[in-house]
Amino acid sequence: MLSFPRAGGPRSAALWKVLIKERGLQMLNKKTVDDLNVKGKKVLVRCDFNVPLKDGEITDNSRISAALPTIKKLLGDGGRVILCSHLGKPKGPDASATLKPVAKRLSELLGQNVAFAADDAVVGENAKKAVEALKDGEAVLLENTRFRKEESKNGEAFSKDLASLADIYVDDAFGSSHRAHCSTVGVTEFVKESAVGYLMEKEIKFLGNAVNNPIRPFAAVLGGAKVSDKINVINNLLEKVDMLIIGGGMAYTFLKAQGFGVGNSLLEEDKVEYAKQMIEKAKEKGVKFLLPIDTVVVKEFKNDAEFKTVGSDKIEDGWMGVDIGEKTRDLFIDALKGVKTAVWNGPMGVFEFSNFAKGTIAVASALAEVDGTTIIGGGDSAAAVNQLGFAGKMTHISTGGGASLEFLEGIELPGVAAVQDK
C-alpha cells in the first residue's frame, strides 16, 4: 500500500500526482499556481505571516517557511510578486504590528531580497512605487493589511486598492480562509484571474479527503477547553468517523452528561444536554465513542500543584481535572492501533504545564505510530506536536486553527470559495 510522505519528505508535483491517482483522492477544483502564466505579470499573494513576535523578533518561522514553495514558484516563473498578510489584531496603523521583521526573515529564507513597502495606508504612494519598481523574479511585501480598518469588514475600497496593484491574485493563506476579508475575498472580485497556492491546495486535499474519502478505520481525537468551540465539528464527524475520542477540558461536560460529578473542572452547563445527544447519536451511528475513564486532578491551577489520579466518576468537590489519567492514556493508545486515518484537534490536558502534558504526549506518540494518514488540525494541537517533537512523524500539520475546525464542520470557507474554479 502506498503511504503518504511524512512531513519533511519529498514534495514534488510528480509525487503528489501519483499519490492523488493511487489513492483516488478528489482533485481540487480550483485554479492553482500551476495553471498560471505569470511571466512579467504582477501577482498579489495573500500569505499567512501572522507569526509570533517577542521584542520585535520572530520566534517561530513555520508560517513563513510554509509559504516558500508558492513564492519560489512564482518568482522562478518570472512573476513580479506582491506579498500581503495580516499580523495580530491592530485596529489601524500600529508600529508593534509591522510586517518589517517578516520581510527581513523572508529575505534570509528565500536567499534574495524582499523589499518592504512601509506604508500605513498599505496601498499608498510608497507601496505603489515599490510595486512599479519590481522586475521579473522580484518580490515586495506590503504593510499589515489590518492597518486598514476596513480589511476585516471586506470593504470595497480597500479590496479595489489591493486589486489595482496586480494582474493575478493567489491565495495561500489557509489560516485566514475562514474569514471574508478584503485580502481573502473582496480582492477576487476586482482581478481577472485568481488561484490557490501550494499550501492552500495541500490543506484542502488533506483535510477534505480525510473527512470525505478516508481510508478506514477513521478516528477523530478532539480535545481542548470547550464543547461550544466544537459543537458542529462533533456533530459532523459523527456522520463520518468509525471512532471518536474526547479528552481535554471539553470531556468534563460529557462526563457530567453521564451523571458524574466533575468538581471544579471546566464545565459548560448549557451544553450538557447537547453532550447527551451526541453520546446517543454515536450509539445510533455505531460509532465507538471514548471518554476518559480516569483523570488527573488538582486543587490549584499551576504546574507544581498537588495532584492525584481518580476515576472519572469520582472527582470530588474542590478538585479540577487537568489531564487524562494513566488508564485513559492506555485506553486511547490501544484504540488508535490499527486506524488508517486519524484527525486530531485539541490537547488532552493543560499541556503547557509539564506535569499535566502526559495525556497529550501519549496521544501524539500513538498518532506518530499510526500506519496511515495522520492530520493535526492546527491551533493548540499543532503547537503541541511541534513543542513535543512529534511534528516530523505526522503526515500533515494544518496551518489553520479556526479554518481547519470550520473545514471539519463541513463549512465552505469564504477564502477558498472566492478563488476561480478550473
CA–CA distance, 392 with 394 (Å, rounded to integer):
6
Alpha helices (H) in 77-221, listed in sequence order: 100-110, 125-132, 156-164, 198-212
Grid cell for residue 418: 472566492
Say if CB 342 and CB 336 are below 8 A apart. Answer: yes
Task: Return all residues near 412 (Cβ < 8 A) that are at least 6 apart.
Answer: none
CA–CA distance, 195 with 109 (Å, rounded to integer):
24
Q: Which of 100, 226, 281, 340 is catalytic?
A: 226
**Helical axes 62-76 vs 100-110, angle rounded to 10°:** 60
* Alpha carbon 330 to its chain's center: 28
Q: Which of 46, 63, 73, 202 is catalytic?
A: 63
Q: What HEC string does 39-94 produce?
A: CCCEEEEECCCCCCEECCEECCCHHHHHHHHHHHHHHHCCCEEEEECCCCCCCCCC
DSSP bridge pairs for 320:
298
Q: Which of 379, 400, 401, 415 is catalytic?
A: 379
DSSP 251-293: HHHHHHHTT---TTS---GGGHHHHHHHHHHHHHHT-EEE--S
379 is catalytic: yes
CA pseudo-torsion sign 390, 399, 30, 115: negative
Q: Which of 137, 155, 402, 410 is catalytic?
A: 402
Which candidate, 73, 61, 54, 44, places its Cα nearest to that of 104?
A: 61
402 is catalytic: yes
How many CA atoms does the CB half-sphere of 309 hold within 13 Å? 15
Say if CB 78 and CB 136 are below 8 A apart. Answer: yes
Residue 384, SS3 per DSSP: helix
Residue 14, SS3 per DSSP: helix
DSSP 27: P
CA–CA distance, 82 with 357 (Å, rounded to integer):
42
Task: Return all residues near 116 (Cβ < 8 A) that are at least 6 apart.
Answer: 99, 100, 103, 104, 140, 141, 143
Say if CB 279 and CB 257 are below 8 A apart. Answer: yes
Active-site residue list: 63, 226, 379, 402
